[in-house]
Chains A and B, each alone.
Chain A
Amino acid sequence: MNDTSAFIIVIAAILTNNILLTNFLGMCSFIACSGQIRTALGLGTAVTFVMTMTTMLNYVILHFVLIPLGLEHLKFIIFIAVIAGFVQFVEMFVERFSPKLYFALGIFLPLITVNCAILGASLFMEIRKYTFAQSVGFGFGAGVGWAVAIILMAGLRQKMRYSNVPEPFQGVPIAMIVTCVLAMAFMGFAGMVSIQ
């Protein structure tokens, strides 16, 4: 049992234990979709929503189905199935109510399914032995943390379009370097709270 309060976990997941900048999960869509703040905001919101909901669902399934039946070895496949089904649902929802966002996200919306950060959040929840409230807090915090990171990055990349980047570093290389600098900056929060 972990006795950190859910609120601390939310703060920690956003700042000190940012899933993207300290665990380097979800890098592919982070690099590919951080060209524009609007797209980044949309994808960040979608990831936050999916992450909160799937962590919650996966907690319920893990603790009320898998552990009582002694089927913890199935957790990977079941977590992935839940995430895939839920992403399909979100896709339909976004397509219906915000076609603009749907087209802006394009192929990346279904790709949330294979965003490792989402599965990572569910697995951290299991490894760190969170309670239900803590899991929801962690899922939400990790999602917000991922969104904050991608929005910061999108802002930086929009600025970078007007800066004089040396030719070999243009595009993804400079994005990786900037991510690295961002991650180091986030290390400044390290002493604030801890959730290991």
Chain B
Amino acid sequence: MVYLWSVLSFASLSMALAGLLIVSERLLISYGICKLDINAGKKPLELEGGQTLLASLYANEIFIPSACGGKGSCGHCKITVTSGGGPVLPTETPYLSRKEIRSNMRLACQVKVREDIYVRIPEELLDVRMFVSSVESTRELTHDIKEIMLRLNDPAEIEHLPGQYVQVQAPSPDGPVFRAYSISSPAYEPNIVELVIKLIPGGIGSTYLHNLKVGEEVVFTGPYGEFHLSEDPNIEIICVGGGCGMAPMKNIIYTLHDRWPERSCWLFFGCRTTEDIFYLEQFKELEKKHPNFHVLYALSDALDPDEKWDGETGFIHLAVDKHLEAGVPRQAFLCGPPPMIEAVTRALEEKGIKSEDIFYDEF
């Protein structure tokens, strides 16, 4: 009996406290209408205070990149708050450098809108929109990499640059989260967005995308990313990728040859075994059409006795080192695991490419 009373009285007390807190939250956390000013008068908004800056911007269709869903654990939603954000909170300091703190950089998910607030957001983020699309087709490229083609429904077209990415909204037990994926379809196909996704065991985004069926609805925001392809056709483009780092490369290569069929371009792609190879035939075809395009795949693991392979072997930076001549003006785009990026960057710098012409995306 005493156990029952213990449990009952503790439970009812907890519920009474929770109820009290909910009521007082309703009554206390109302800040009235606050002004939100973006880029000095460019886009003045008025909104109900009390929400986080990230949620308030999101409600007004300004999509700041964020992967964790506003929990302050990814540090992606950095924006400049010129006034009205209050002091930097202890939850933000791990993600901000001293220089960023000095220039009023804040995490949008931690700043609460309590008063009139003035923020600066990069112009390209103001062009980011939310897209509703449906799955047109899915294709298994390797045992763990899938190609997913999304047809845009609303709005029906996306304007993006090669190398840019989108943030796909994936459901999770704690509400929707966003995961970033590069667009692999070329920029001249504005009605579709193709993604190349590697399944990460336990990953929220990749599991969701891998289980999608044709016809299902997918919501994403985009495009994001600052990589800009050089407009000078004499500059050679070097793409180096590994694993699902193929996605931005495919976009860059197809977009590039659509605009400049004669432009020189190299694709180096690192795989472990022959099982990891995908898109090779497609690129061989392209190589035949465009004489200045060169594609090289390299296998880093030893071959099985019954396998045949006439391409490169060893890590991909060795192939980069072997095939590129020094002294040609180039722009490079790397996408893959950090050790690969590091090794390839070193190899490219030895060939005389300046570090500001090397763009990379680590994962």
Contact = CB atoms under 8 A, between A and B. Distances in A.
Q: How extensive is the interface on chain B, given as a class? A: 20 to 34
B10 A81 contact: yes
Nearest to B21: A88
Contact of B9 (A66, A82, A89): A66
Interface string B52-87: 000000000000000000000000000000000011
A127 interface: no
A93 B86 contact: no
Identify whether the interface residues of B are mostly helix, strand, loop, or mixed.
helix
Contact of B13 (A78, A99, A103): A78
A96 B29 contact: yes
Interface residues of A, number: 24
A74 B10 contact: yes
Interface in B16-58: 17-18, 20-21, 24-25, 28-29
A65 B20 CA distance: 19
Contacts of B17: 81-82, 84-85
A123 B92 CA distance: 37
A85 B25 contact: no
Contact of B86 (A77, A82, A85, A99): A99
A1 interface: no
Contacts of B302: none
Given A82-B17, A106-B90, A74 B28 contact: no
A107 B93 CA distance: 13
A144 to B, nearest CB: 25
A74 B87 contact: no
B10 A77 contact: yes
Contacts of B21: 85, 88-89, 92
A166 interface: no
9 contacts: A66-B9, A74-B10, A85-B20, A92-B25, A93-B28, A95-B28, A95-B29, A96-B28, A106-B89
Given A70-B5, A89-B20, A107-B90, 14 more contacts: A66-B9, A71-B6, A81-B13, A81-B14, A82-B13, A84-B17, A85-B20, A88-B21, A92-B21, A92-B24, A95-B29, A96-B28, A96-B29, A103-B86
